């Protein structure tokens, strides 16, 4: 596993040209709608939003959504899409947690797809998610089930080869979430690092911030 950061800025322009990536965003968005029921009263945040493939699929369902990423190149692509689509309820925010940035608050819904495995300190991030949610706010995390490092052609910037669901569920509970559940959101079939075609499962894990603490609007 590589501790070097991946340069997503250089990948941003061609990011959406991968049909499997677009289909994954569609599948994750559908799973979030089924499991979290986002509605027009919610404020939402998409952590690690990239070019907004998930952000823009959820935007019509919520009052507002902020796309957060550390890559300005990715955010520039998302901002251009927002302008083209004349979306008034979507904005972008560049944050780098490695530099001490903190998530804004409060939000009713925080989502993140395929970002967790690029984060070294998961426990710290889950605590930030908890702090950034409003009372009874909901967290939705989509990522790889445990694999052997074959998913990425280059494991630069990858800190986790997927996640064991049982361990991650416990991590959410430890961070202050309740009602933690998981489901399989998608299957991605692609050439693995060794060149062989392989299927990878993507889970969606959800949890609710316990009442009694945090910000209220």
Give per-residue pLDDT as tens, 148-202: 888 887 878 889 999 999 999 999 999 999 999 999 999 999 888 888 899 999 9
Bridge partners of residue 203, in order along the sequence: 143, 184
- CA distance linking residue 141 with residue 128, whole number of Å: 14
φ and ψ of 151, to 5 deg: -65, -45
Longest dimension (CA), the chain: 51
pLDDT at 1: 45
| Residue spans per domain, the chain | 9-209
CATH topology of domain 9-209: Rossmann fold (3.40.50)
pLDDT at 154: 80
In the sheet that 177-191 helps form, which strands lie side by side, from edge to edge?
Answer: 90-94, 64-69, 43-47, 107-113, 133-144, 197-209, 177-191
Q: In what helix (H) or strand (E) does residue 124 lie, and over which residues does it extend?
A: helix 122-132
Instruction: For residue 20, give the 3-state DSSP assignment.
Output: helix
| pTM of the shown model | 0.90
pLDDT at 209: 96
């Amino acid at each position: 596993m590589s501790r070097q950061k991946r340069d997503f800025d250089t990948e941003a322009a061609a990011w959406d040209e991968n049909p499997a990536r677009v289909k994954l965003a569609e599948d994750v968005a559908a799973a979030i709608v089924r499991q979290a029921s986002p509605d027009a009263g919610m404020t939402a945040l998409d952590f690690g939003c990239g070019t907004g493939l998930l952000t823009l699929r959820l935007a019509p369902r919520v009052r507002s959504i902020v796309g957060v990423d550390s890559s300005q190149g990715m955010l520039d692509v998302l901002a251009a899409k927002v302008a083209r689509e004349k979306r008034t309820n979507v904005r972008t925010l560049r944050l780098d947690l490695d530099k001490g940035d903190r998530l804004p608050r409060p939000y009713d819904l925080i989502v993140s797809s395929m970002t967790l495995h690029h984060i070294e300190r998961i426990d710290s991030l889950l605590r930030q998610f908890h702090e950034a949610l409003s009372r009874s706010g909901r967290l939705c995390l989509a990522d790889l089930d445990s694999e052997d490092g074959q998913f990425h052609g280059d494991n630069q910037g990858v800190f986790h080869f997927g996640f064991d669901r049982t361990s991650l569920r416990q991590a959410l509970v430890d961070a202050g979430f309740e009602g933690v559940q998981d489901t399989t959101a998608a299957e991605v079939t692609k050439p693995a690092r060794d060149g062989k075609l392989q299927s990878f499962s993507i889970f969606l894990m959800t949890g609710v911030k316990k009442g009694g603490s945090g910000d209220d609007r």
